[in-house]
Structure 1
């Protein structure tokens, strides 16, 4: 990676291409510390959680006063849940569900179609043959090498249908949905693991976020070092939380923000 523009922060490029996010960018949500993740001695109240989500949906949609709404529907749990709560909250609005069918990939649109039909939503499928065809345009809009490029196509389609788009993004971070990563992290660590060992294990659980020879893709101007990456994650694992709670903390303060 050659960095020649002096206005570009080398550490931002390193972080995005290693962690998939840049911790120096001001987040839309408040950052959390380990104190916020300390367990509380109260049972989980599912009714309260559902009411909280519905109230937030209603508040946002009452503000826009839209009678037609779009939702990104993957066919997974998070987006299906959002569609069901959206229909429960707004039984009379027209809902447009937008899904993407990727070439040479598992087709989840049949499941999405069944979910859309169940909740009386018009289903629109984007048949995407060349995933990278509009990459330069997408980057020019976002101004960052954003990893979830499919959102460009979802938004592009949704703009033709309504002025409001809802998604289930963030559900895995908020409700501990990355079970395969949790299992791997616990297998790589123990209660006696130190902070650095847990940080390295956490990164190993996200091996798809970067290339295997990460240190070789940057030149000297990029100032890449694994120690700098470890320093970003260390605060999430240098505390008295349980190992899984530490992972939840790192996930929240990472890609979610």
Structure 2
């Protein structure tokens, strides 16, 4: 898979899974726009991308703001060229301070849906005209195995990721006639800053995890619930993104692929 001369946009591309995706696409030759609200981390990742592929840019983007998303699309075209690959990775697990509570609030639901679902729709809408005019492109949305099955500790997050899977299918149907594929990835258990917060909630809500640190909760879940008994990594997800945007996946659309070591086999 060689992406030389192609342009990718990665939302939430400054850290974690987004950073791994940006570096993977750069390693295959793509120019990468890093879209994030964390300007310092975004600039750092863009510098790493430039060392690999030579071309990268940063646009500070709040995906919940449609005007900001339109600005991202314009800036991408002006600095790197029309988009070929759009990776909707930006996401949150709840409103500020949610990890310290034992239940979800209305604000958790609002902010999580605003970023994870409406934000994804905003970004896709902003780039739609670039892709449809060129009659081609790849869109990859980051969902989660939490979207496959509800979580009592994270109902707002699980519901938002289920909505991402449905949004992926709807968008795939809409854009198929323009030769644009739209797929989703459902990562399994990855040790990230977000999971440190998730681990606290699991420990609060499940007596089996009582007294465990977030990392101990995580390791226990990996050992007990993943058939392959190993955690997933941002690089695992990045490899799957690279496949979905490649010519090898040109006839795959509307799918949600689990990258979870066998956690869910459906």
Q: Same fold (TM over 0.5)?
A: no
State the structure with bigger RCO (CA 8 A, min sep 6), 1 or 2.
1
Structure ID, larger Rg: 1
* TM value normalised by structure 1: 0.32
* TM value normalised by structure 2: 0.31
* Richer in strand (by share): 2
